[in-house]
Protein backbone atom coordinates (compact mmCIF):
# COMPACT_ATOMS: atom_id res chain seq x y z
CA UNK A 1 0.00 0.00 0.00
CA UNK A 2 1.23 3.50 -0.77
CA UNK A 3 -0.29 6.56 0.74
CA UNK A 4 0.40 9.51 -1.48
CA UNK A 5 0.89 13.07 -0.39
CA UNK A 6 1.03 16.05 -2.73
CA UNK A 7 4.41 15.33 -4.28
CA UNK A 8 3.88 11.68 -5.15
CA UNK A 9 0.34 12.38 -6.32
CA UNK A 10 1.71 14.96 -8.75
CA UNK A 11 4.18 12.38 -9.98
CA UNK A 12 1.30 9.99 -10.68
CA UNK A 13 -0.52 12.67 -12.67
CA UNK A 14 2.59 13.26 -14.74
CA UNK A 15 3.08 9.55 -15.32
CA UNK A 16 -0.43 8.52 -16.11
CA UNK A 17 -1.70 11.52 -18.08
CA UNK A 18 0.86 10.83 -20.78
CA UNK A 19 1.52 14.56 -21.09
CA UNK A 20 4.41 16.75 -19.96
CA UNK A 21 4.02 18.40 -16.58
CA UNK A 22 3.80 21.88 -18.13
CA UNK A 23 0.63 21.03 -20.06
CA UNK A 24 -2.39 22.98 -18.86
CA UNK A 25 -4.83 21.18 -16.59
CA UNK A 26 -7.77 19.79 -18.57
CA UNK A 27 -10.60 22.28 -18.87
CA UNK A 28 -13.52 21.38 -16.66
CA UNK A 29 -15.88 23.77 -18.43
CA UNK A 30 -15.92 21.94 -21.78
CA UNK A 31 -19.29 20.40 -22.64
CA UNK A 32 -19.49 16.83 -21.46
CA UNK A 33 -16.89 17.40 -18.75
CA UNK A 34 -17.58 16.84 -15.07
CA UNK A 35 -15.28 16.50 -12.09
CA UNK A 36 -15.51 14.86 -8.70
CA UNK A 37 -13.40 15.70 -5.68
CA UNK A 38 -13.19 13.58 -2.55
CA UNK A 39 -11.13 13.47 0.63
CA UNK A 40 -9.17 10.63 -0.93
CA UNK A 41 -9.07 8.79 -4.21
CA UNK A 42 -8.07 5.10 -4.12
CA UNK A 43 -7.12 4.10 -7.65
CA UNK A 44 -7.81 0.34 -7.39
CA UNK A 45 -4.13 -0.52 -7.76
CA UNK A 46 -2.95 0.30 -4.26
CA UNK A 47 -2.40 4.06 -4.57
CA UNK A 48 -4.09 6.88 -2.65
CA UNK A 49 -4.34 10.55 -3.62
CA UNK A 50 -5.39 12.66 -0.65
CA UNK A 51 -7.87 15.43 -1.56
CA UNK A 52 -7.99 14.14 -5.11
CA UNK A 53 -10.12 15.26 -8.03
CA UNK A 54 -11.10 13.08 -10.99
CA UNK A 55 -12.00 14.77 -14.28
CA UNK A 56 -14.37 12.93 -16.63
CA UNK A 57 -15.25 13.68 -20.23
CA UNK A 58 -17.65 11.77 -22.48
CA UNK A 59 -17.87 8.89 -20.02
CA UNK A 60 -14.10 8.40 -19.68
CA UNK A 61 -11.63 9.43 -17.01
CA UNK A 62 -9.39 12.24 -18.29
CA UNK A 63 -7.15 12.99 -15.34
CA UNK A 64 -6.58 12.83 -11.60
CA UNK A 65 -5.37 16.02 -9.90
CA UNK A 66 -5.80 17.99 -6.69
CA UNK A 67 -7.59 21.08 -8.00
CA UNK A 68 -10.16 22.40 -5.50
CA UNK A 69 -13.11 23.19 -7.80
CA UNK A 70 -15.35 20.33 -8.86
CA UNK A 71 -18.84 19.55 -10.16
CA UNK A 72 -19.36 17.07 -7.33
CA UNK A 73 -17.85 17.87 -3.95
CA UNK A 74 -17.61 14.58 -2.05
CA UNK A 75 -15.49 15.90 0.80
CA UNK A 76 -15.53 13.42 3.68
CA UNK A 77 -15.84 10.51 1.26
CA UNK A 78 -13.47 8.09 -0.45
CA UNK A 79 -13.70 7.72 -4.23
CA UNK A 80 -12.93 4.30 -5.69
CA UNK A 81 -13.30 2.48 -9.00
CA UNK A 82 -16.77 0.97 -9.37
CA UNK A 83 -16.78 -2.37 -7.56
CA UNK A 84 -16.73 -5.61 -9.56
CA UNK A 85 -18.18 -8.97 -8.49
CA UNK A 86 -16.91 -11.88 -10.60
CA UNK A 87 -19.55 -14.30 -9.28
CA UNK A 88 -23.00 -12.74 -8.97
CA UNK A 89 -26.26 -14.47 -9.92
CA UNK A 90 -27.94 -11.18 -10.74
CA UNK A 91 -30.98 -12.91 -12.28
CA UNK A 92 -31.86 -14.82 -9.09
CA UNK A 93 -34.78 -13.30 -7.21
CA UNK A 94 -37.74 -14.09 -5.00
CA UNK A 95 -41.10 -14.33 -6.75
CA UNK A 96 -44.25 -12.54 -5.63
CA UNK A 97 -44.89 -15.31 -3.11
CA UNK A 98 -41.48 -14.56 -1.58
CA UNK A 99 -39.99 -17.86 -2.79
CA UNK A 100 -36.89 -18.44 -4.89
CA UNK A 101 -38.01 -18.14 -8.51
CA UNK A 102 -37.80 -21.34 -10.55
CA UNK A 103 -39.53 -22.85 -13.54
CA UNK A 104 -43.16 -23.68 -12.95
CA UNK A 105 -43.65 -21.40 -9.94
CA UNK A 106 -46.36 -19.39 -11.71
CA UNK A 107 -44.20 -16.38 -12.50
CA UNK A 108 -44.15 -15.72 -16.25
CA UNK A 109 -41.06 -14.68 -18.24
CA UNK A 110 -41.92 -10.97 -18.26
CA UNK A 111 -42.50 -10.91 -14.50
CA UNK A 112 -39.24 -12.76 -13.93
CA UNK A 113 -37.24 -10.41 -16.13
CA UNK A 114 -38.76 -7.36 -14.42
CA UNK A 115 -37.79 -8.83 -11.06
CA UNK A 116 -34.26 -9.42 -12.34
CA UNK A 117 -34.08 -5.79 -13.49
CA UNK A 118 -34.86 -4.84 -9.90
CA UNK A 119 -32.02 -7.05 -8.65
CA UNK A 120 -29.68 -5.37 -11.14
CA UNK A 121 -30.74 -1.93 -9.86
CA UNK A 122 -30.07 -2.94 -6.24
CA UNK A 123 -26.64 -4.26 -7.23
CA UNK A 124 -25.72 -1.01 -9.01
CA UNK A 125 -26.97 1.09 -6.09
CA UNK A 126 -24.70 -0.96 -3.85
CA UNK A 127 -21.67 0.32 -5.76
CA UNK A 128 -21.16 -2.61 -8.15
CA UNK A 129 -20.82 -1.32 -11.71
CA UNK A 130 -19.82 -4.68 -13.23
CA UNK A 131 -20.86 -8.23 -12.39
CA UNK A 132 -20.03 -11.58 -13.93
CA UNK A 133 -22.95 -14.00 -13.83
CA UNK A 134 -22.33 -17.74 -13.98
CA UNK A 135 -24.97 -18.18 -15.22
CA UNK A 136 -28.50 -18.15 -16.52
CA UNK A 137 -29.87 -18.15 -20.06
CA UNK A 138 -32.11 -15.27 -18.97
CA UNK A 139 -29.05 -13.07 -18.28
CA UNK A 140 -28.70 -12.38 -21.99
CA UNK A 141 -31.56 -9.89 -22.38
CA UNK A 142 -30.78 -8.30 -19.02
CA UNK A 143 -27.16 -7.82 -20.10
CA UNK A 144 -28.09 -6.48 -23.53
CA UNK A 145 -30.77 -4.06 -22.25
CA UNK A 146 -28.41 -2.65 -19.60
CA UNK A 147 -25.45 -2.39 -21.94
CA UNK A 148 -27.62 -0.57 -24.50
CA UNK A 149 -28.52 1.95 -21.79
CA UNK A 150 -32.22 1.04 -21.97
CA UNK A 151 -32.48 0.10 -18.27
CA UNK A 152 -30.12 0.89 -15.37
CA UNK A 153 -27.87 -1.78 -13.93
CA UNK A 154 -24.31 -3.00 -13.69
CA UNK A 155 -22.42 -4.04 -16.79
CA UNK A 156 -23.06 -7.81 -17.01
CA UNK A 157 -20.92 -10.61 -18.37
CA UNK A 158 -22.72 -13.94 -18.52
CA UNK A 159 -21.94 -17.58 -19.23
CA UNK A 160 -25.59 -18.19 -20.21
CA UNK A 161 -26.47 -21.82 -19.39
CA UNK A 162 -23.71 -23.62 -17.42
CA UNK A 163 -22.31 -27.09 -18.21
CA UNK A 164 -23.00 -29.78 -15.63
CA UNK A 165 -24.17 -32.99 -17.33
CA UNK A 166 -21.66 -35.81 -16.58
CA UNK A 167 -23.17 -38.08 -19.27
CA UNK A 168 -22.05 -35.96 -22.25
CA UNK A 169 -18.91 -37.19 -24.04
CA UNK A 170 -15.91 -34.94 -24.84
CA UNK A 171 -16.63 -34.48 -28.57
CA UNK A 172 -20.18 -33.39 -27.86
CA UNK A 173 -18.97 -31.07 -25.09
CA UNK A 174 -16.63 -29.34 -27.56
CA UNK A 175 -19.51 -28.78 -29.95
CA UNK A 176 -21.63 -27.39 -27.11
CA UNK A 177 -18.89 -24.88 -26.22
CA UNK A 178 -19.01 -23.59 -29.80
CA UNK A 179 -22.80 -23.43 -29.58
CA UNK A 180 -22.65 -21.45 -26.34
CA UNK A 181 -20.26 -18.99 -27.95
CA UNK A 182 -22.62 -18.53 -30.90
CA UNK A 183 -25.44 -17.87 -28.41
CA UNK A 184 -23.48 -14.92 -27.02
CA UNK A 185 -21.77 -16.24 -23.87
CA UNK A 186 -18.99 -13.99 -22.53
CA UNK A 187 -17.31 -16.94 -20.79
CA UNK A 188 -18.05 -20.57 -19.88
CA UNK A 189 -19.33 -21.88 -16.52
CA UNK A 190 -18.78 -25.52 -15.64
CA UNK A 191 -19.89 -27.61 -12.65
CA UNK A 192 -17.09 -30.09 -11.91
CA UNK A 193 -18.48 -31.06 -8.51
CA UNK A 194 -21.77 -31.37 -6.70
CA UNK A 195 -23.21 -28.54 -4.63
CA UNK A 196 -21.89 -28.09 -1.09
CA UNK A 197 -25.42 -29.01 -0.04
CA UNK A 198 -24.90 -32.54 -1.43
CA UNK A 199 -21.28 -33.02 -0.39
CA UNK A 200 -19.30 -31.36 -3.19
CA UNK A 201 -17.86 -34.56 -4.78
CA UNK A 202 -16.32 -34.51 -8.26
CA UNK A 203 -18.80 -35.01 -11.13
CA UNK A 204 -16.80 -34.47 -14.36
CA UNK A 205 -13.73 -36.45 -15.47
CA UNK A 206 -10.38 -35.05 -16.52
CA UNK A 207 -11.21 -35.87 -20.16
CA UNK A 208 -14.51 -33.99 -19.95
CA UNK A 209 -12.88 -30.96 -18.32
CA UNK A 210 -10.06 -31.00 -20.88
CA UNK A 211 -12.64 -30.99 -23.67
CA UNK A 212 -14.64 -28.13 -22.14
CA UNK A 213 -11.74 -25.92 -21.03
CA UNK A 214 -9.56 -26.76 -24.06
CA UNK A 215 -12.27 -25.93 -26.58
CA UNK A 216 -13.27 -22.77 -24.69
CA UNK A 217 -9.66 -21.57 -24.71
CA UNK A 218 -9.45 -22.31 -28.46
CA UNK A 219 -12.61 -20.20 -28.91
CA UNK A 220 -11.16 -17.33 -26.86
CA UNK A 221 -13.46 -17.91 -23.88
CA UNK A 222 -12.46 -18.09 -20.21
CA UNK A 223 -13.70 -21.00 -18.06
CA UNK A 224 -15.03 -20.69 -14.50
CA UNK A 225 -15.30 -24.05 -12.76
CA UNK A 226 -17.50 -24.74 -9.75
CA UNK A 227 -15.46 -27.23 -7.68
CA UNK A 228 -15.73 -28.03 -3.96
CA UNK A 229 -13.81 -31.27 -3.30
CA UNK A 230 -10.02 -31.14 -3.45
CA UNK A 231 -10.00 -33.74 -6.24
CA UNK A 232 -12.42 -31.72 -8.37
CA UNK A 233 -10.34 -28.55 -7.93
CA UNK A 234 -7.10 -30.36 -8.79
CA UNK A 235 -8.62 -32.00 -11.88
CA UNK A 236 -9.91 -28.65 -13.19
CA UNK A 237 -6.46 -27.10 -12.72
CA UNK A 238 -4.88 -30.05 -14.56
CA UNK A 239 -7.38 -29.54 -17.39
CA UNK A 240 -6.15 -25.98 -17.92
CA UNK A 241 -9.35 -24.22 -16.82
CA UNK A 242 -9.06 -20.48 -16.14
CA UNK A 243 -10.64 -20.00 -12.72
CA UNK A 244 -11.87 -22.14 -9.84
CA UNK A 245 -14.99 -21.15 -7.92
CA UNK A 246 -15.63 -21.99 -4.23
CA UNK A 247 -13.05 -24.75 -3.47
CA UNK A 248 -14.36 -25.13 0.04
CA UNK A 249 -12.48 -28.42 0.64
CA UNK A 250 -9.24 -27.46 -1.15
CA UNK A 251 -5.95 -28.68 0.34
CA UNK A 252 -2.89 -26.46 0.81
CA UNK A 253 -0.96 -28.49 -1.78
CA UNK A 254 -3.68 -27.80 -4.34
CA UNK A 255 -3.60 -24.07 -3.55
CA UNK A 256 0.12 -24.14 -4.33
CA UNK A 257 -0.58 -26.15 -7.51
CA UNK A 258 -3.06 -23.46 -8.62
CA UNK A 259 -0.50 -20.73 -7.99
CA UNK A 260 2.13 -22.66 -9.98
CA UNK A 261 -0.27 -23.17 -12.90
CA UNK A 262 -1.50 -19.55 -12.87
CA UNK A 263 -5.07 -20.68 -12.19
CA UNK A 264 -7.23 -17.96 -10.63
CA UNK A 265 -9.03 -18.84 -7.39
CA UNK A 266 -12.37 -17.31 -6.46
CA UNK A 267 -13.43 -18.45 -2.96
CA UNK A 268 -16.19 -16.77 -0.96
CA UNK A 269 -15.87 -15.31 2.52
CA UNK A 270 -19.35 -15.57 4.02
CA UNK A 271 -22.17 -13.58 2.41
CA UNK A 272 -23.46 -16.51 0.37
CA UNK A 273 -23.91 -18.76 3.42
CA UNK A 274 -25.27 -16.06 5.72
CA UNK A 275 -27.70 -14.94 3.01
CA UNK A 276 -29.10 -18.44 2.50
CA UNK A 277 -29.47 -19.01 6.23
CA UNK A 278 -30.92 -15.55 6.96
CA UNK A 279 -33.42 -16.03 4.11
CA UNK A 280 -34.03 -19.74 4.72
CA UNK A 281 -37.84 -19.53 4.62
CA UNK A 282 -37.58 -18.27 1.02
CA UNK A 283 -35.52 -21.34 -0.02
CA UNK A 284 -36.65 -24.11 2.33
CA UNK A 285 -38.02 -27.18 0.53
CA UNK A 286 -36.91 -26.17 -2.99
CA UNK A 287 -34.48 -28.69 -4.62
CA UNK A 288 -31.52 -29.41 -2.32
CA UNK A 289 -32.50 -26.60 0.07
CA UNK A 290 -33.42 -29.19 2.69
CA UNK A 291 -32.29 -29.93 6.26
CA UNK A 292 -29.10 -31.65 5.06
CA UNK A 293 -28.31 -28.69 2.75
CA UNK A 294 -28.88 -26.24 5.58
CA UNK A 295 -26.52 -28.13 7.87
CA UNK A 296 -23.84 -28.16 5.15
CA UNK A 297 -24.08 -24.39 4.76
CA UNK A 298 -23.88 -23.84 8.51
CA UNK A 299 -20.64 -25.86 8.48
CA UNK A 300 -19.55 -23.95 5.38
CA UNK A 301 -19.21 -20.66 7.30
CA UNK A 302 -16.18 -21.87 9.28
CA UNK A 303 -14.71 -23.82 6.34
CA UNK A 304 -14.86 -20.73 4.12
CA UNK A 305 -13.05 -18.54 6.65
CA UNK A 306 -10.35 -21.18 7.10
CA UNK A 307 -10.03 -21.72 3.35
CA UNK A 308 -9.74 -18.02 2.57
CA UNK A 309 -7.12 -17.59 5.27
CA UNK A 310 -5.02 -20.38 3.69
CA UNK A 311 -5.57 -19.00 0.19
CA UNK A 312 -4.42 -15.49 1.20
CA UNK A 313 -1.26 -17.03 2.65
CA UNK A 314 -0.42 -18.95 -0.56
CA UNK A 315 2.41 -17.15 -2.41
CA UNK A 316 1.65 -16.20 -6.01
CA UNK A 317 -2.01 -17.25 -5.95
CA UNK A 318 -4.34 -14.78 -7.73
CA UNK A 319 -7.50 -14.31 -5.67
CA UNK A 320 -10.55 -12.57 -7.08
CA UNK A 321 -13.58 -11.08 -5.34
CA UNK A 322 -16.68 -13.10 -6.14
CA UNK A 323 -19.53 -13.21 -3.67
CA UNK A 324 -21.84 -15.81 -5.29
CA UNK A 325 -24.66 -13.39 -4.50
CA UNK A 326 -28.09 -14.98 -5.04
CA UNK A 327 -31.65 -13.87 -4.26
CA UNK A 328 -31.64 -11.82 -1.07
CA UNK A 329 -27.99 -10.75 -1.39
CA UNK A 330 -28.13 -8.22 -4.22
CA UNK A 331 -27.22 -4.76 -3.05
CA UNK A 332 -25.12 -6.32 -0.28
CA UNK A 333 -22.27 -7.65 -2.42
CA UNK A 334 -19.97 -5.42 -0.30
CA UNK A 335 -20.39 -7.70 2.72
CA UNK A 336 -17.55 -10.04 1.75
CA UNK A 337 -15.17 -7.04 1.85
CA UNK A 338 -16.15 -6.58 5.49
CA UNK A 339 -15.80 -10.34 6.06
CA UNK A 340 -12.35 -10.44 4.46
CA UNK A 341 -10.94 -7.50 6.39
CA UNK A 342 -12.59 -8.12 9.74
CA UNK A 343 -12.89 -11.92 9.93
CA UNK A 344 -10.03 -13.18 7.76
CA UNK A 345 -7.87 -10.14 8.65
CA UNK A 346 -6.92 -9.39 5.05
CA UNK A 347 -5.30 -6.01 4.40
CA UNK A 348 -8.15 -3.61 3.45
CA UNK A 349 -6.15 -2.26 0.50
CA UNK A 350 -5.73 -5.81 -0.85
CA UNK A 351 -9.47 -6.38 -0.46
CA UNK A 352 -10.32 -3.18 -2.36
CA UNK A 353 -7.77 -4.06 -5.06
CA UNK A 354 -9.27 -7.54 -5.45
CA UNK A 355 -12.76 -6.08 -5.92
CA UNK A 356 -11.54 -3.65 -8.58
CA UNK A 357 -8.33 -4.06 -10.63
CA UNK A 358 -7.67 -7.75 -9.90
CA UNK A 359 -11.23 -8.62 -10.89
CA UNK A 360 -10.97 -6.52 -14.06
CA UNK A 361 -7.73 -8.31 -14.99
CA UNK A 362 -9.35 -11.71 -14.39
CA UNK A 363 -11.96 -10.77 -17.03
CA UNK A 364 -9.34 -9.35 -19.44
CA UNK A 365 -10.88 -5.89 -18.97
CA UNK A 366 -7.97 -4.02 -17.37
CA UNK A 367 -7.90 -1.45 -20.15
CA UNK A 368 -11.55 -0.49 -19.55
CA UNK A 369 -12.54 -0.88 -15.90
CA UNK A 370 -11.19 -1.61 -12.40
CA UNK A 371 -8.93 1.40 -11.85
CA UNK A 372 -9.01 5.18 -11.79
CA UNK A 373 -6.65 6.28 -14.55
CA UNK A 374 -6.86 8.36 -17.74
CA UNK A 375 -8.67 6.56 -20.52
CA UNK A 376 -10.66 4.23 -18.28
CA UNK A 377 -14.47 4.13 -18.27
CA UNK A 378 -15.80 6.54 -15.64
CA UNK A 379 -17.11 3.81 -13.30
CA UNK A 380 -16.77 5.35 -9.83
CA UNK A 381 -18.18 4.80 -6.37
CA UNK A 382 -17.88 6.97 -3.27
CA UNK A 383 -18.29 5.75 0.27
CA UNK A 384 -18.53 7.82 3.45
CA UNK A 385 -15.36 7.76 5.55
CA UNK A 386 -12.16 5.84 4.89
CA UNK A 387 -12.38 2.08 4.19
CA UNK A 388 -8.62 1.72 4.81
CA UNK A 389 -9.20 2.68 8.45
CA UNK A 390 -12.56 0.90 8.79
CA UNK A 391 -13.69 -1.40 6.01
CA UNK A 392 -17.34 -1.07 7.08
CA UNK A 393 -17.25 2.30 5.28
CA UNK A 394 -18.05 0.32 2.11
CA UNK A 395 -21.53 -0.28 3.53
CA UNK A 396 -22.21 3.47 3.25
CA UNK A 397 -22.27 4.03 -0.52
CA UNK A 398 -23.20 7.64 -1.34
CA UNK A 399 -22.35 8.06 -5.02
CA UNK A 400 -22.34 5.74 -8.03
CA UNK A 401 -21.31 6.61 -11.58
CA UNK A 402 -21.14 4.17 -14.48
CA UNK A 403 -19.74 5.21 -17.84
CA UNK A 404 -20.00 8.87 -16.79
CA UNK A 405 -23.70 8.66 -15.83
CA UNK A 406 -24.59 9.30 -12.20
CA UNK A 407 -26.92 6.61 -10.81
CA UNK A 408 -26.69 7.58 -7.16
CA UNK A 409 -25.81 10.84 -5.47
CA UNK A 410 -26.87 11.21 -1.86
CA UNK A 411 -25.39 14.69 -1.72
CA UNK A 412 -26.40 17.33 -4.28
CA UNK A 413 -23.61 18.86 -6.45
CA UNK A 414 -21.89 21.81 -4.81
CA UNK A 415 -23.53 21.30 -1.42
Nearer to Zn ion, 324 or 379 (CB): 324
CB of 152 to Zn ion, least distance (A): 24
Point out the residue whose Cβ comes nearest to Zn ion.
Answer: 324
Nearer to Zn ion, 73 or 324 (CB): 324
Least gap, CB of 162 to Zn ion (angstroms) = 9
Q: What are phi and psi of 242, to 5 degrees?
A: -75, -45
Nearer to Zn ion, 138 or 324 (CB): 324
Q: Which stretch binds Zn ion (CB under 5 A): 74-82, 90-98, 148-156, 322-330?
A: 322-330
Site size toward Zn ion, by CB under 5 A: 1
Among 324, 335, 336, 377, binds Zn ion (CB under 5 A): 324
C-alpha–C-alpha distance, residues 260 and 252, integer Å: 12
**Cα radius of gyration (the chain):** 21
Q: Which range in 110-118, 172-180, 318-326, 335-343 contacts Zn ion by CB under 5 A?
A: 318-326
CA dihedral 304, 47, 81, 368 (to 10 degrees): -100
Tell whether residue 377 is a contact of Zn ion (CB under 5 A): no
Closest C-alpha to 154, from 186, 113, 189, 118: 118
Site string for Zn ion, 268-307 (x = CB under 5 A): ----------------------------------------
Contact window for Zn ion (CB under 5 A) among 35-43, 305-313, 317-325, 397-405: 317-325
Distance CA 180, CA 174 (A): 10
Interatomic CA distance for residues 353 and 87, integer angstroms: 16
Give first-to-last CA distance, the chain, whole Å: 32
> Minimal distance in Å, beta carbon 146 to Zn ion?
20
Positions of E strands within 230-356: 243-246, 264-266
Residue 90 CB, nearest approach to Zn ion (Å): 11
* 138 sits near Zn ion (criterion: CB under 5 A): no
Where b means 16+ CB within 10 Å and e means fewer, 46-60 reads: bbbbebbbbbbbeeb
The least distance separating Zn ion from the CB of residue 245, rounded to whole angstroms, comes to: 7
Q: Minimum Å distance from CB 100 to Zn ion? A: 13
Using DSSP bridges, classify how beta strands 33-42 and 47-57 pair: parallel, antiparallel or unpaired. antiparallel
Only segment of 168-176, 294-302, 321-329, 332-340 that touches Zn ion (CB under 5 A): 321-329
In a 13 Å sphere around the CA of 45, the CA atoms on its Cβ side amount to: 11
Complex with Zn ion: residue 323 or 353, whichever CB lies closer: 323
In the complex, which residues of this chain contact Zn ion (CB under 5 A)? 324
Amino acid sequence: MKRMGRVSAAAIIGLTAGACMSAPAPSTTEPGTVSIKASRVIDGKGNVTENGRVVIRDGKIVSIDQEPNATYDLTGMTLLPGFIDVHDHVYWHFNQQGRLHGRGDGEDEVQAELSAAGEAWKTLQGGFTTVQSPGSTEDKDLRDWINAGRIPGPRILTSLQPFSNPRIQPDSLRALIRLRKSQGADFIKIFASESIRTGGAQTLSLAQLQALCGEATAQGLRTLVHAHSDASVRTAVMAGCTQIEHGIFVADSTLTFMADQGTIFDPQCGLVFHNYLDNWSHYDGIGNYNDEGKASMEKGIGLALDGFTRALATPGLTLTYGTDAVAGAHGREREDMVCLANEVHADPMRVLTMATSVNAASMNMSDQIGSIAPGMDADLVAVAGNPLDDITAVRDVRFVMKGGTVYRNDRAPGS
